[in-house]
Amino acid sequence: MQHDTPALAQPCRQLADLPGPRRLPLLGNAHQMHRGRLHQDMENWSREYGPLFSVALGRTQMLVVADHALIAQVLRERPATFRRPSVTAEVAEELGGVPGVFEAEGADWRNQRRMVMQAFAPHAVKAYFPSLVQVGQRLRKRWEGLAAAGKTIDLGADLRMFSVDIVAGLAFGSDVNTIETGDNAIQRNLDKILPAVGERSMAPFPYWRYVKLPRDRQLERSMAAVRVAVGELVAQAKERMRLDPQLAARPRNMLEAMLAAAAQEGSGVTEVEVAGNVLTMLLAGEDTTSNCMAWLIWLLHRHPQVLARAREEVLRVAPDSAALSIEQLDGLDFIEACANEALRLKPPAAFLPFEALVDTVVGDVQVPKGTLLWCVMRGSSVDDAWVANAARFDPQRWLDGAIDKKVSMPFGAGPRTCPGRYLALLEIKLGMAMLLGGFEIASVSTTHGGEPAEKLGFVMEPETLQMRLHARSKDLKS
């Protein structure tokens, strides 16, 4: 059933007027929410109550927005009207985090955004491309060994190593090489930090401010270890730039580009904020891209005809993963369509939370300053009213123009669109070129043999997926 988008006319409703699930005193709707699938709870309620409804976390009333046009309005009005919830910044500050563009607001955000956009620009990424290909070859070598031994691959774990190596190596000039060594302090601690940050940000009561459990003390140790590692990355880059001043004009990685941008007169960015953006990119770049790739591989395996077409494009456009060019990856149009379709159906950022900075209006609802908003990012994008056969995995729709691209916003929209979009898609294309050009996918399965459950941690991810591969014979690669 299609929900009409509320007209942006004279506001007539207050939060208290909105429909929503029945609440209990003190608890609100907390008893009806499930931490690991909270995104699904909100999606289910949106189908029952419409594109604008309210829920309560304890005594805190929240506006839920499940219409893509209204969500786009909220995103366009950032950073002046909406910000990320202040509780997120409070959690980061408690953990001793340093500010990055993800948490920054106002003038600080504008200054940092300019710096980060310079580092993520396509021409800048092109300069780092050889390092990206090297990481892909390491993953291919690892998978060749596992395939030859007949062993299963923990898909999520291996793709996280792939993403960490790319972000740390390509972006920050540090060859951490978790793929071959199997361990790295940054990744080991990020795996502890990311779920905890998400859990604390949505906790109804900040118990850790009064009583610290063993897991809270472990979280603090992990955060301290990552801060030390980030500080070392920044110090190493500064020393390289001191020894070779030409790096300021021709940086070899994103950290050097950010330091060079920060050093420009009037940048308004400090080295502390540079370090904050290193940490932000490590946090944001690991789970989002790796989980998109995991969902994509699962979906391709479930749709053999789509998989065959994706492989044909790889073998035609980018047949040799050891000698890839950025132009070849840019030419993988069907692979990009597959990624967009996976992101539509299984967006890692399944929701976006915001807080109103001023009294404002969303649709026909008055939104007082300080109100929390929960934007359902997988609403219109899986609704047959907006996308034909919305439940179907059909990458061709992105090539035919058969979908309104505005209904799916996996990288956000408006002024704060994710600056790493180009890099993320390039990373996905590299992974797919390596996988489809070198292997046959024998199986991708859960431990129980059924559909993978969606788990909401820092992002939405599949439960553990196990993959088996067979190396493709050379005569099949031509």
Reported as a single tens digit per residue, the pLDDT across 27-47 is: 889 889 888 899 999 999 999
> Looking at per-residue confidence, does 355 or 97 come out higher?
355
pLDDT at 7: 45
Q: Average the pLDDT over 183-206 and give the result.
A: 73
pLDDT band at 475 (very low <50, low <70, confident <90, very high): low
pLDDT of 361 higher than 50: yes
pLDDT at 318: 95
Percent of residues, the chain, with pLDDT higher than 90:
49
pLDDT at 2: 46
Reported as a single tens digit per residue, the pLDDT across 1-33 is: 444 444 444 668 999 999 999 999 888 898 898
pLDDT of 441 higher than 60: yes
pLDDT of 372 higher than 70: yes
Is residue 172 a contact partner of residue 226, using CB atoms and an 8 Å limit? no
Question: Which residue pairs from 265-271 have beta carbons closer than 8 angstroms and sit at least 24 positions apart in sequence?
Answer: 267/111, 267/114, 267/115, 268/107, 268/108, 268/111, 269/111, 269/112, 269/115, 271/234, 271/238
Q: Average the pLDDT over 354-382 and give the result.
A: 95
pLDDT of 420 higher than 80: no
**270, 328, 326, 332: which is closest to 111 by C-alpha?**
270
The size of the chain, in residues, is 478
> Looking at per-residue confidence, does 374 or 229 come out higher?
374
Q: Measure the CA–CA gap between 305 and 471, rounded to whole angstroms.
A: 20
Is residue 173 a contact partner of residue 256, using CB atoms and an 8 Å limit? yes
pLDDT at 429: 96
> Looking at per-residue confidence, does 160 or 341 come out higher?
341
pLDDT at 176: 77
pLDDT of 189 higher than 80: no
Is residue 319 a contact partner of residue 477, using CB atoms and an 8 Å limit? yes
pLDDT at 101: 36
Token pair recorded at residue 134: 């090297």
Instruction: Give the domains, in start order, of the chain with CATH numbers.
Output: 82-345+416-476 (1.10.630.10)
Reported as a single tens digit per residue, the pLDDT across 76-130 is: 998 889 988 887 777 777 776 544 434 555 555 555 556 566 666 677 677 778 8
Q: Measure the CA–CA gap between 39 and 376, rounded to whole angstroms.
A: 7
Our measurement of the distance from residue 164's CA atom to the centroid of its chain's CA atoms, rounded to an integer in Å, reads: 13
pLDDT of 141 higher than 60: yes
Reported as a single tens digit per residue, the pLDDT across 259-269 is: 887 777 776 66
Helix axes 214-243, 185-201, angle to 10 degrees: 130
* Residue 11 Cα distances to 3, 64, 233, 331, 365, angstroms: 18, 17, 51, 47, 6
Is residue 25 a contact partner of residue 335, using CB atoms and an 8 Å limit? no
The model's pTM is: 0.86
Reported as a single tens digit per residue, the pLDDT across 232-261 is: 888 888 898 899 998 888 777 778 877 887
- At which residue do the structure tokens 């070129």 appear? 433
> Looking at per-residue confidence, does 452 or 227 come out higher?
452
**Phi-psi label, residue 168: left if phi above 0, alpha if psi -120 to 50, beta otherwise:** alpha
pLDDT at 478: 45
pLDDT band at 307 (very low <50, low <70, confident <90, very high): very high
Average pLDDT, the chain: 85
The 3 state secondary structure assigned to the chain is: CCCCCCCCCCCCECHHHCCCCCCECCCECHHHCCHHHHHHHHHHHHHHHCCEEEEEECCEEEEEECCHHHHHHHHHCCCCCEECCHHHHHHHHHCCCCCCCCCCCHHHHHHHHHHHHHHHCHHHHHHCHHHHHHHHHHHHHHHHHHHHCCCCEEHHHHHHHHHHHHHHHHHHCCCCCHHHHCCCHHHHHHHHHHHHHHHHHCCCCCHHHCCCCHHHHHHHHHHHHHHHHHHHHHHHHHHHHHHCHHHHCCCCCHHHHHHHHHHCCCCCCCHHHHHHHHHHHHHHHHHHHHHHHHHHHHHHHHCHHHHHHHHHHHHHHCCCHHHCCHHHHHCCHHHHHHHHHHHHHCCCCCEEEEEECCCEEECCEEECCCCEEEEECCCHHHCCCCCCCCCCCCCHHHHHCCCCHHHCCCCCCHHHCCCCHHHHHHHHHHHHHHHHHHEEEEEEECCCCCCCCEEECCCEEECCCEEEEEECCHHHCC
Q: Residue 369: how many CB atoms within 10 A of its CB? A: 11
